[in-house]
Amino acid sequence: MNYFKCSFLSIFFLLIIISPSADAQQLVANAGVNHNICPGDSAHIGGIPAATGGLPPYHYSWSPSAYLSSTTVQNPFAFPPSYYVYTLTVTDDTGAVATSTVVVSLKYIKYVNAGSDITICKGNNTQIGNALNVAGQGIMYRWSPYINMNDSTLPRPTVAPPTSTIYYLTDSMPGSGCKTQHDAVYVTVIDVVVDAGLDTAIYEGANITLHATGAVHYIWTYDSTLNYQNTPNPDAQPVVSTWYYVTGWNSTWQCANRDSVLVTVHKSGTLVFYNTFTPNGDGQNDTWYIGNIEKYPNNVMKIFNRNGQLVFRQEGYMNTWDGKSFGQDLPAATYFYLLDPGDGSDTYNGTVTIIR
């Protein structure tokens, strides 16, 4: 009987020893204080200790695992490239779980840089520097070269370079312990130098081909005496002295420049016969043009095909023949003309070619 009594007492006291105390503390995880570090540095995260209460031993798990020296120790090193929130999960020997979080952020100098490369047209200005470059935050800015710049100490200065230029940024955060940073931005300057050619002169009734250079795309100011005005080499048929203006763009239509040329017209009564025309309905060279024909209102025009058949006749011809014969399109070919100017002078004859 005494044997059973002693065994019972032994078991009772053993249960008391191995059972959790009624006042045992709850498991608590401690991820430590938040850190604000310099770019390229690391932070020692996790509290000291990182876990209390519960029943040791503790098992540690950090997430996310990115930029950590270990995910299973109390105090790993964190070296994130930007703002990160790390969560510590602690599990004690009974299976109880507790969590805690810590923030590792980077000092503002991390977000400062010279910005993206920029393309501008000559004569324009632009702002350089990342949009996150701001005044304050303890950042000191130094830009170079400072010529053609409004202020070399601004986070985002305005520049107006005459030629393509590399601008260098040095930024520091005095007293922070962070290293000075260096960056650069390239500003490409597009200079479109349009040349409309030399001023020239023609006799009344003649035409002239203009020649623009220096650009990729061209538009000449609309004028009823111009043909092919969206090309570098339009045909001009001015009846009086005329200024012609051309605007030229680069290949992307981003930058433009302008120039002009004067065509002086000298008085003349000489008929000027052009030997081709293209009656295709595009509004360019669609009829047969004879310079100064309007000065001979009593003229009689006759046109024949190569077989000698009359295909066109008109009294008082005024540059209206569109390559038709009695309403029908004539084929592309060379035709013969006879023009009686109607003033008693000699008859003109020659050839004109229809191109389709």
CATH number at residue 335: 2.60.40
- pLDDT at residue number 7: 43
- pLDDT at residue number 224: 86
Asked whether residue 20 carries a pLDDT value surpassing 60, the answer given is no
- Domain membership of residue 322 (yes or no) is yes
Cα–Cα distance, 335 to 273 (Å, whole number):
13
Question: Domain of 321?
Answer: 272-354
Rounded to an integer, the average pLDDT of 107-121 is 97
Asked if residue 338 and residue 290 are part of one domain, the reply reads yes
Burial 301-324 (b: 16+ CB within 10 A, else e): bbbebeeeeebbeeeebeeebebe
Asked whether residue 17 carries a pLDDT value surpassing 80, the answer given is no
Cα–Cα distance, 132 to 171 (Å, whole number):
13
Structurally, the chain folds into a number of domains equal to: 4
Asked if residue 242 and residue 184 are part of one domain, the reply reads no
Cα–Cα distance, 76 to 86 (Å, whole number):
11
- pLDDT at residue number 2: 46
CATH number at residue 125: 2.60.40.10
Q: Report the phi/psi class of residue 297: left, alpha or beta, with left for phi > 0 and alpha for psi in -120 to 50.
A: alpha
